[in-house]
Amino acid sequence: MFHSPILPRVRKRPRPAEAGIPRREEVKFDDVRLYLVERKMGRSRRSFLTQLARSKGFIVEDILSDVVTHIVSEDSQASSLWTWLKGCDLRNLTSMLVLDISWFTDSMREGRPVAVETRHLIQDTLPTVPEGSTPTPVTTVSQYACQRRTTIENSNKIFTDAFEVLADSYEFSEIEGSCLAFRRAASVLKSLPCVVRCLGDTEDLPCLGDHTKAVMEEILQYGRSFEVEKILSDERFQTLKLFTSVFGVGPKTAEKWYRRGLRSFSDILTEPDIHLNRMQQTGFLHYEDISRAVSKAEARALGNIIDEAVHAITLDAMIALTGGFRRGKEFGHDVDFIVTTPELDRERTLLPDIIDRLEQQGILLYCDYQASTFDITKLPSHRFEAMDHFAKCFLILRLEGSKVEGGLNCAEEDRRGWRAVRVDLVLPPMDRYAFALLGWTGSRQFERDLRRFARSERRMLLDNHALYDKTKMLAVSLAGRVEERSSFSLCLFVSRPRSLPLMCRLSRVGVGQAATSISSIHQAVGRVAERG
């Protein structure tokens, strides 16, 4: 029997290392300097990713130093990574972005540095306590948003962003309880003056259930929530978020379009069986403008336009800028105004007159006018209603760049010199002005908790129309001075904004009646604000 000889295995000749070949890549992104952490990545993979990034125009530093702007790591253990980073003697570590490898792969796929999202960040989970210092005592936080001071700065954005994604997901699935739970949790964390660094910091905080704490724990450990990442990558969620970003498209319409197999704007606009209403048509027509944030300077410019239009019709009218801008925000998605007049029943005809004047000026791009259905005999209302019954109109106005101090908030390549902006006008009777002002100033969660606080803690019913004391079986009046502090202070846990004064004009005509109502609400606000 013959046996074939066993030949020795032939070793393949190794390929020449590309790293040894000097090659100068073109730098496209001067303001981004990467450092790839070799820990958990390995030397050969790090070398390959370094060459890949440099081939796409990125600067990749071989040594970790203070010139680095973006640190990229595959180490899923945030605590060990940050322990190592803090031992590297970096002066600018706090200004560097410490990112998961997912940001790197997204950037390589796009061929440019993509925007850093919550899911990309690897957060520091190690609290830094100076030697000899004692822990700061935890201040009691109310379960009601109307009793919490909330600054414009959000110290816990990495958590609240995740909660808002989860809340949106539950809202799309019509699971109201879970949606509300995550919105309440986000509201609580936004009110904190410091960063939550461990779950122990949340021990005495209200409105944080097992699910919210599990999400926080995951973010503290890994720098991201895998549940949130799964939602963000879900086709249905992405599609519903896209569709509901259009003016006039709500969750139900978006869901209907999704079930029909539509996935993009082009799918909708080319589908012959889809019939858009006038609001939706306008939403698509001005989508780029409406989806872009409105600046404070643009809000001021629109305030001047509305003020001029209103007082050209009636001199005794009063105008107030409300919404996020009245709370001091720098940007918003639209601009809200309350207009009122002491002239009896004038609010029923004033709004159409304002709309006509804006149209004559050639700046009215869209108008949805809703006449007043307010009926004082139907007060108090025992059910929560998302919208009040005052006359109102939802507008889209053409805002010229020449009217805005510092120019428009628009893309650099936009040469039109104007943009479309959403503006809401609400016109309550003078004796309902204070309630409407309060209702249109607070955030959605603030207003919800304000009503809940009134009902649960003070046995009162509050909405945009009135405050009703159930124990005395009467409505609280603002016709004169507020004598009983307890009767109205419960719903005024909001002070006048410091950064953006209330825009109003009082003329000689009817100033007495207007001033009485305004001074009443502001006196009550001032007294409550002193209590913190």
Q: Which residue has the tokens 């450990």?
A: 221
| Residue 208 in tokens | 């944080």
What are residue 263's DSSP bridge partners?
none
Residue for token pair 């935890």 = 138
Amino acid at 7: L
Distances (CA, A) of 437 to 146, 271, 321, 433, 465: 15, 42, 9, 6, 10
Catalytic residue list: 334, 336, 424
CA distances to 32, 43, 114, 179, 356 from 390, rounded to whole Å, are 52, 67, 45, 28, 19
Q: What are phi and psi of 340, to 5 degrees?
A: -150, 165
* Residue of 378, 193, 419 whose CA lies nearest to 285: 419
3-state secondary structure of 399: strand
Which residues make beta-bridge pairs with 294? 332
Cβ(90)–Cβ(37) below 8 Å:
no
Q: Which helix (H) or strand (E) holds 387?
A: none
From the CB of residue 399, how many other CB atoms can be counted at a distance below 10 Å?
A: 22
User: What percent of the chain is helix, strand and coil (3-state, nearest 5)?
Assistant: 45, 10, 45
Contact 142, 158 (CB under 8 A): no
* Cα–Cα separations (whole angstroms), residue 232 to 74, 123, 202, 309: 20, 19, 26, 44
Distances (CA, A) of 177 to 231, 254, 442: 18, 21, 21
Is the distance from CB of 529 to CB of 495 less than 8 angstroms?
yes
Q: What angle do CA 443, 446, 452 make, to 5 degrees?
A: 145
DSSP H helical ranges for 198-344: 210-222, 226-232, 235-244, 251-259, 265-270, 278-285, 287-290, 296-311, 323-326
DSSP, collapsed to helix, strand or coil, labels residue 339 as strand
* d(C-alpha 61, C-alpha 303), whole Å: 50
Can you tell me the distance from the alpha carbon of 427 to that of 391, in angstroms, rounded to the nearest whole number? 5
Residue 30, burial from CB neighbour count under 10 angstroms (0-12, 13-18, 19+): exposed
Please tell me whether 106 is known to bind a ligand: no
| β-pair type (294-295, 331-332) | antiparallel
- Please check if 124 is assigned to a binding site: no
Q: Is 424 annotated as a binding residue?
A: yes
Residues in the chain: 532
The H or E element that residue 101 is part of is helix 101-110
Positions at the binding site for Mg(2+): 334, 336, 424
